[in-house]
Amino acid sequence: DIQMTQSPSSLSASVGDRVTITCRASQSISSYLNWYQQKPGKAPNLLIYAASSLQSGVPSRFSGSGSGTDFTLTISSLQPEDFATYYCQQSDSIPITFGQGTRLEIK
């Protein structure tokens, strides 16, 4: 199985900050990497697919990059509604696996 490791596990930031979350795969997954946002009590919401493609309706302050084993999710200017937990997910092979999550909190 492909292991996905996110860092950091939690992060405190302020509105307007630029934030980067990283995700590392245990083996190469090409660009089969996706990012989700989850708010408490809600289902996850797809932000980025195929490493760098922005899902329809997602604000442009979200961006993704990387290939192979190392990936990043960047939020260019944090907004109040961005405080949530973020998960990466690989879709290179079955079983599908997720990172452990990064909790983004207000400083």
Pinpoint the alpha helices (H) of 1-107.
none
CA atoms within 13 A on the CB side of 15: 3
Query: Least Å distance between CB 45 and another protein?
Result: 8
Q: What backbone phi and psi angles, to 5 degrees, belong to 103?
A: -90, 120
Q: Which of 11, 52, 72, 101 binds another protein (CB under 8 A)?
A: 101
Tell whether residue 40 is a contact of another protein (CB under 8 A). Answer: no
- Residue 106 CA: distances (Å) to CA of 22, 27, 79: 19, 33, 10
Q: Which of 19, 34, 64, 73 binds another protein (CB under 8 A)?
A: 34
Tell whether residue 91 is a contact of another protein (CB under 8 A). Answer: yes
Q: Which of 43, 60, 80, 81 binds another protein (CB under 8 A)?
A: 43
Place of tokens 């996905």: 4
Tell whether residue 64 is a contact of another protein (CB under 8 A). Answer: no
**Interface residues toward another protein, by CB under 8 A:** 1, 32, 34, 36, 38, 43-46, 49, 55, 87, 89, 91, 94-101
